[in-house]
Amino acid sequence: MAIRPILTPQAVAAAAPVPERLFDSGPALNRVCRPDVWDDPEWLGVLRTLGLRPEVVHRKAFEWAHCIYGLERLDALGPDRTVLGVGAGHEHILYHLANRSRLTVATDLYAGRFVDTPAAEADPDFLREPEKYAPFPYREEHLLALPADGLRLPFKAGSFDVVYSLSSIEHFGGHEMASVAMQEMARVLKPGGVACVATELVLEGPANEEFFARDVFDRCVVAASGLVPVEQLDDEPPPRELFDDPVVIAENIDRNPHIVMGDGDLRWTSVIVFLRKPTVVETAMWGAASVVQRGRRHIAELAYESRRNPPRFLRKFGGGGGGVSV
């Protein structure tokens, strides 16, 4: 029942206020993948900037375009900014980020089972010849590729303005490892910096170690990070007809729209969130709020205990003379 003396980043983040929506206009930043985002002209403009075809309604395109859309709206990119991609493979947006940052560092194992997948996401070739995968011209000296484990990032705390990871943390070895990866991303982020993470959200059916049910996502990805969501999650699911006729990898992988995935009773799609690392001032403010909240909870627990079992309460807290000291 004692108030813990050490304030963890998780406790500080839990005391931070999180608005329902950060911006009055445009698609929500923290959201489940739904085709309605393709109706927004500004968002479509970002998709086109990335050289992607607007008629292809695919959750991969959603992750890439939405990551850039959100980072731009949050003013997180620019010529003085440093960006880290975790489990990045040779993904498309690395090249865009190289054009929109001082330095973008791509990290991945660049080994293991993703070397031989159809998209060869972790092809170690990328380390030697990143230009080979470039979808458009980019500033070669602003993109650096390094082999690195997302569970032990080889960077000092507070190194990057932006850290992002798309479709990767679910492959790091289960939900607990996803939490470790989130804490690593938070560690290497500068105070005030922005993280963007996309992963697999279970819409229906049984969860498993690679996908996140909503409560597991909230706990193991968002809360575990110790970062603060820029807004609440817009978790409205995609239209029902996409659940009823989902994309099944072995049967219709090229389906358009490619939004809801299915395997037996399981339905899932992408979820993406933007999180901020508190500044020093915010840490002090929300840290104080967290202590007050915990103090209130502690007093409420004491009051409950005193009503539930007065003799025991007096024995425990009443001191020798039978009077309660608080």
Ligand X SMILES: C[S@@+](CC[C@H](N)C(=O)[O-])C[C@H]1O[C@@H](n2cnc3c(N)ncnc32)[C@H](O)[C@@H]1O
What is the distance between the alpha carbons of residues 312 and 154, in angstroms, rounded to a whole number? Answer: 52
CB of 119 to ligand X, least distance (A): 7
Burial of 326 (0-12, 13-18, 19+ CB in 10 A): exposed
Touching ligand X, residues 238-277 (CB under 6 A): none
Residue that is written with structure tokens 């739904």 in the block: 34
Taking the least distance from each CB to ligand X, the nearer of 11 and 247 is: 247
CA dihedral 212, 218, 221, 225 (to 10 degrees): -170
Q: Dihedrals φ, ψ of 236, to 5°?
A: -60, 130
305 binding ligand X? (CB under 6 A)? no
Choose between 116 and 244: whose C-beta lies nearer to ligand X.
116
Q: Does 282 engage in binding with ligand X (CB under 6 A)?
A: no
Structure tokens at 184: 């690593």
Segment near ligand X (CB under 6 A); pick from 41-49, 163-171, 249-257, 311-319: 163-171
**Residues 122, 145, 272, 275: which binds ligand X (CB under 6 A)?**
122
Choose which of 38, 43, 138, 172 interacts with ligand X (CB under 6 A): 172
Q: Which two tokens stand for residue 212?
A: 């996140």
Shortest distance in whole angstroms from residue 160 CB to ligand X: 15
**Cα angle 182-187-193, degrees, rounded to a multiple of 5:** 90
Q: Does 225 participate in binding ligand X (rule CB under 6 A)?
A: no
Residues in the chain: 326
Q: Which of 14, 16, 74, 151 binds ligand X (CB under 6 A)?
A: 151
Contact 178, 221 (CB under 8 A): yes
Candidates 30, 104, 167, 179; binder of ligand X (CB under 6 A) is 167
- Residue 228's beta-bridge partner residues? 276
Binding site for ligand X (CB under 6 A): 87-89, 91, 108-109, 112, 114, 121-122, 149-151, 166-168, 171-172
